[in-house]
Amino acid sequence: MATSSPLIQPTKSRAIGNDLRTLLGSKKVKDDGPTLTAYAVDASIYRIPPQAVVLVESEDDIAATIGYARSRGIPLTPRAAGTNLTGSAIGSGIILDVSHLNRILEVNQEEQWARVQPGIVLAELNKQLSARGLMFGPDPSSGDMCKLGGMVANNSSGPHTLRYGSVKDNVQSLRLCLTSSSWIEARAYPLTDPTLERLLTMVPALRDVLVLTQAHADLIAAKRPTVSKNSCGYNLFGVADGLAQGVFDLPKLFVGSEGTLGIMSEATLRLVNRPASTLTALLHFKNLEEVGHAVPQILTLQPSALEVMDANTLNLIGRAKHGIPADAAATLLLELDADSTEIDLQEQADALRTICRPYKLASETTLAFDAERREQLWKARKALYPTLYRFDPKKKPINFVDDVVVPADRISELIRYLEGFFGSQHVPVAIFGHIGNGNAHIVPLLDVNDRGDFEKMVQAYQDVHSTVLNQFGGSICGEHGDGRIRAELVQRMFGEELYGLFVQVKKAFDPDNILNPGIKLSDASFTDHIDYTRLSKSCATCAKCNSVCPVYDVFQSEDMSARGWFEIVTAKDYSYLNSKRVVEACLNCKSCRTICPAGVDVSDLILQKRAEHPNRLAGWIFRLQAKGLNFDAFVHVLASTQRLWDRPFVRKLLERITGPIMKALAPTARLPHDLVLPKLARRHLRERYAHLATREIEESPTRTVAYFHGCAANYFDDGVGDAVIEVLKKHGVEPALPPQRCSGTPIQTYGHVDLVRDGARFNLWSFAPYKTIVTGCASCTLMLKDYPTLFPEGEERQRAESLAKKVVHISEFVARSSEHPPMANTGGTTKRVTYHSSCHLRAAGVTKEPRQVLSSLPGVNFVEMQDADRCAGGAGTYVVKDYDTSKKIFERKARAINQSGANVVATSCPACMIQLKNGLDDAVEVKHVAQLLQEAYRAAEGKKS
């Protein structure tokens, strides 16, 4: 089938999309099938396809979209990262995505506040603030992906609420557009402030809320939740508190209103100092009741976080995998912060041990003081919910009773009740959460497509919520929001009268029920719109993959993201031709696979779809390459003439001439004249090292270590292959260079699975006799390790598995080597070296060794750069497949390298080297880890001689 068919543009027949395009311009409006599929989900159990998506870029866009929606009576749903668990960022009308509004507008270090746009990711905000020693306190576990707009609208909080409170405690003011299209500054106005009077006149809805809160102060006080956290209903309690102190505290009203009262374009946030140091501790209790006794004592140490995971949760995530003792009945994770360097956390650790001494612990308390180890302790907790997706192919973790709050000292009692209840239902359940606040996340595993399980879900929804309200005097919602899932319970939680006030508030701001209808206040059943199809799939829709997807980083649009692509390619109505623009946009960087807690490989799904439409031109090139001699001769000709064709004016000409041919690779493909191409080798690596290279496959070679050099090291004159060989020799190894074909990565990205398999078969035979297979290229490393996935169960799979075990990247080889050849500083001066971690090497599990090697080099000051683990945008041939996007992806990497102050950036992959050399100026040298080693060994030799 022809693969150069034109890109299918978004359908233009839809009326709403057309109107919006006329209003806002076509770039900001999308209503094609794949986009609507991607935006039909968030991290909840629901699915509602919208009719159009607007990617707003300014306040004018927000006001215009609201005005349009109101004039036509079309539901309008604001959306940030779409990680809410309640269905509040999906809707049947227009989705207004604020992701492009993602700047920090102002930071006041002295007064400790920041003015930010709603599309900024929490982790990104804190990364930027960390340079000033500041941070935003509330920390939902989804902090790597969730955005400030969603956090504010949901009144999010997280493990550190104990110390920093929820979002509502940390917002100074908001800028909001109301359904009248007027803008307000929502801050705390003293009742005597003349500006307030003007505001109340301009926005009658605000006066309505003021009057209503004053008039019903007693009712509001009587219904105030008595637990430490609540995000259920509108926060008239906070407004009433303000009025009692003489201020009309508007942030209290809008924070937690879930996009139902207005759309936020800015938030001014209160910041806190980053702690000077932190201690993280893990305690495994043998007895659940003892947890209940220990918690109040531990709270006297004023921990900043105190988290619990019950026995079921520990079973479900796998005790052995996480080193959790078999007899642990519950695990506590706690954190103690020191605000100054004078506070001794070791003393705190001793105090913790003393508190725990009377209790039966299943193992020694684990203490971690350094950032990396602490992060490790948190890892399982933070990814808990999506990790549960791995447990069973049918029974999935379902969020429908996920966020209850009870008095903190009754949490063990709650856990006992829940274990009993779900035990009687024979339903596996994970119970974890913020024990210090009494906030429990309850996630039963159910197959909602099974009638019995569905009924159990409905029963649990009623029973658990009623018990929390009636027996524990708790709240049904601590931090995740009401959304669609708890909307039907809000009246039960607060009673008819207060619910009536909430309805009045909503009507005052949104008389036509345009803004996020069905959210917070609704009598629709929580089972409406459940996405039964998706709940049988492997993806938790948590969006963790979006946080590392380089394409999402550039486009900030769900249809151009890893999570969105999962939805698109697994949709019932998927078709390659309609989805080609998205299916071909993935870089195959594998960052999503590396990070996904549920074990989903989106890139592989995309490769499978490409395999249904292999690219013809690429197939022709790769077949020629597989034939060997002809292709090598062609590359020789290119190498010997490079001086001629690689001149600027010839390159411009070449870009024009090759244009139509490149279009056969992808509509966006070209050979950009300004792309710095690697120098081609006049004598290929195999020719230069003919004494190591064998032409035929050897059955019983004399050498035990083989070097899989791959294509780049063979054809490019970049010094990488020579460095790998020299480094191996220094370690006493003379490697063999057996006959080899392309490992398959680039071939796979163009859909030619059969060719990949053919090449793999050849390599399997050729490399089988060797004990160790050393690589220098990240992609070759991963592909060789992935060979077993190419073959069904059987002999070939076994051979592939055996080969995969023998593959080591040169940095691993050196880090593990018992030899320690002398090294010396090259050039006498100290180099500041940073490391770009190639995506495929990360996916192959090699992250520490290159850093270890670099840190060991004399005269090297190794500095870790921010975003070291993010894709640089080269991704093999992606740089020619979509040069413009590739360049945009690189911008973040270039910023990080510059900020690191490094004069050398090291990496482990020749393809990344091309991208780095192309995007960086001459002030920063680009080197392979093996080359830096080679230099250090040579310098030592020079000294000796």
Ligand X SMILES: Cc1cc2nc3c(=O)[nH]c(=O)nc-3n(C[C@H](O)[C@H](O)[C@H](O)COP(=O)(O)OP(=O)(O)OC[C@H]3O[C@@H](n4cnc5c(N)ncnc54)[C@H](O)[C@@H]3O)c2cc1C
Per CB under 6 A, residues contacting ligand X are 42-43, 77-85, 88-89, 98, 118, 140-142, 146-147, 149-151, 153-154, 156-158, 258-259, 263-264, 385-386, 479-480, 516, 519, 542
Distance CA 319, CA 851 (A): 30
Least Å distance between CB 757 and ligand SF4? 21
Out of 598, 723, 868, 909, point to the residue binding ligand SF4 (CB under 6 A).
Answer: 598
Residue 158 contact, options ligand X, ligand SF4, none, Cβ 5-8 Å cut-off depending on partner type: ligand X
Distance CA 437, CA 157 (A): 11
Nearer to ligand SF4, 168 or 590 (CB): 590
Nearer to ligand X, 361 or 477 (CB): 477
433 binds ligand SF4 (CB under 6 A): no
Out of 24, 283, 306, 586, point to the residue binding ligand SF4 (CB under 6 A).
Answer: 586
Least Å distance between CB 79 and ligand SF4? 15
Least Å distance between CB 299 and ligand SF4? 33
C-alpha 939, offset from chain centre:
42
Residue 900 contact, options ligand X, ligand SF4, none, Cβ 5-8 Å cut-off depending on partner type: none
Out of 562, 685, 724, 774, point to the residue binding ligand SF4 (CB under 6 A).
Answer: 562
Out of 544, 581, 709, 892, point to the residue binding ligand SF4 (CB under 6 A).
Answer: 544
Among the listed residues 597, 590, 483, 588, the one whose alpha carbon sits nearest the alpha carbon of residue 144: 597
Least Å distance between CB 118 and ligand X? 4
383 binds ligand SF4 (CB under 6 A): no
Instruction: Give the 3-state secondary structure of 811-871.
Output: HHHHHHCCCCCCCCCCCCCCEEEEECCCHHHHHCCCCHHHHHHHHHCCCEEECCCCCCCCC
To which H or E segment does residue 188 belong?
strand 183-190
Nearer to ligand X, 143 or 719 (CB): 143
Least Å distance between CB 43 and ligand SF4? 8
Do 743 and 759 touch, CB atoms closer than 8 A? yes
Q: What is the DSSP string of 587-613?
A: ----HHHHH-TT---HHHHHHHHHHTS
Distance CA 841, CA 845 (A): 6
Total residues binding ligand SF4 (CB under 6 A): 28
Least Å distance between CB 594 and ligand SF4? 9
- 446 beta partners: 396
Region of 107-115, 400-408, 436-444, 535-543 interacting with ligand SF4 (CB under 6 A): 535-543
The contacts of residue 151 (CB under 8 Å, 6+ apart) are 80, 122, 138, 140, 167
582 binds ligand SF4 (CB under 6 A): no
Least Å distance between CB 487 and ligand X? 12
Distance CA 476, CA 232 (A): 7
Residue 70 contact, options ligand X, ligand SF4, none, Cβ 5-8 Å cut-off depending on partner type: none
Residue 596 contact, options ligand SF4, ligand X, none, Cβ 5-8 Å cut-off depending on partner type: ligand SF4
Distance CA 623, CA 469 (A): 68
Q: Residue of minimal CB distance from ligand X?
A: 150
Do 912 and 918 touch, CB atoms closer than 8 A? no
Out of 602, 665, 844, 930, point to the residue binding ligand SF4 (CB under 6 A).
Answer: 602
Out of 122, 283, 542, 712, point to the residue binding ligand SF4 (CB under 6 A).
Answer: 542
603 binds ligand SF4 (CB under 6 A): yes
Nearer to ligand X, 269 or 764 (CB): 269
Nearer to ligand SF4, 613 or 709 (CB): 613
541 binds ligand SF4 (CB under 6 A): yes
Least Å distance between CB 174 and ligand X? 9
Residue 587 contact, options ligand X, ligand SF4, none, Cβ 5-8 Å cut-off depending on partner type: ligand SF4
Least Å distance between CB 1 and ligand SF4? 23
Among the listed residues 843, 841, 817, 824, the one whose alpha carbon sits nearest the alpha carbon of residue 928: 841
Nearer to ligand SF4, 56 or 583 (CB): 583
Residue 809 contact, options ligand X, ligand SF4, none, Cβ 5-8 Å cut-off depending on partner type: none
Least Å distance between CB 232 and ligand X? 13
Distance CA 99, CA 117 (A): 9
750 binds ligand SF4 (CB under 6 A): no
CA atoms within 13 A on the CB side of 680: 16
411 binds ligand SF4 (CB under 6 A): no
550 binds ligand SF4 (CB under 6 A): yes
Nearer to ligand SF4, 602 or 932 (CB): 602
Least Å distance between CB 604 and ligand SF4? 9
To which H or E segment does residue 924 belong?
none
Q: In Å, what is the CA distance from 628 to each residue of 391, 634, 740, 774, 876?
A: 46, 10, 10, 22, 20
To which H or E segment does residue 8 belong?
none
- 332 beta partners: 283, 308
β strands within 212-322, DSSP E: 247-249, 263-270, 272-273, 277-285, 305-310
Residue 69 contact, options ligand X, ligand SF4, none, Cβ 5-8 Å cut-off depending on partner type: none
Do 855 and 885 touch, CB atoms closer than 8 A? no
Residue 464 contact, options ligand X, ligand SF4, none, Cβ 5-8 Å cut-off depending on partner type: none
Region of 64-72, 538-546, 658-666, 724-732 interacting with ligand SF4 (CB under 6 A): 538-546
Nearer to ligand X, 84 or 779 (CB): 84
Least Å distance between CB 505 and ligand X? 15
543 binds ligand SF4 (CB under 6 A): yes
Nearer to ligand SF4, 262 or 746 (CB): 746
Do 396 and 447 touch, CB atoms closer than 8 A? yes
Out of 33, 275, 386, 719, point to the residue binding ligand SF4 (CB under 6 A).
Answer: 386
Q: In Å, what is the CA distance from 425 to each residue of 388, 420, 663, 919?
A: 19, 9, 59, 59
- Which structure tokens are listed for 481? 């929001």
Do 92 and 50 touch, CB atoms closer than 8 A? yes
Nearer to ligand X, 509 or 835 (CB): 509
Question: Do the strands 94-97 and 52-55 form a parallel or antiparallel pair, or are they unpaired?
Answer: parallel
Rg over alpha carbons for the chain, rounded to the nearest Å, is 30
The residue type at 787: Y
897 binds ligand SF4 (CB under 6 A): no
Exposure class string for 796-822: b at 16+ Cβ within 10 A, else e: beebbeebbebbbbbbbbbbeeeeebe
Out of 545, 666, 777, 853, point to the residue binding ligand SF4 (CB under 6 A).
Answer: 545
Do 761 and 787 touch, CB atoms closer than 8 A? no
149 binds ligand SF4 (CB under 6 A): no
- Which structure tokens are listed for 278? 């932190």
Dihedral over Cα of 187, 188, 194, 198: its sign: positive
Nearer to ligand X, 257 or 886 (CB): 257
Least Å distance between CB 295 and ligand X? 19
- Which structure tokens are listed for 252? 């209290």
Instruction: Name the site residues for ligand SF4 (rule: CB under 6 A).
Output: 386, 539-545, 548-551, 562-563, 565-566, 586-592, 596, 598, 600, 602-603
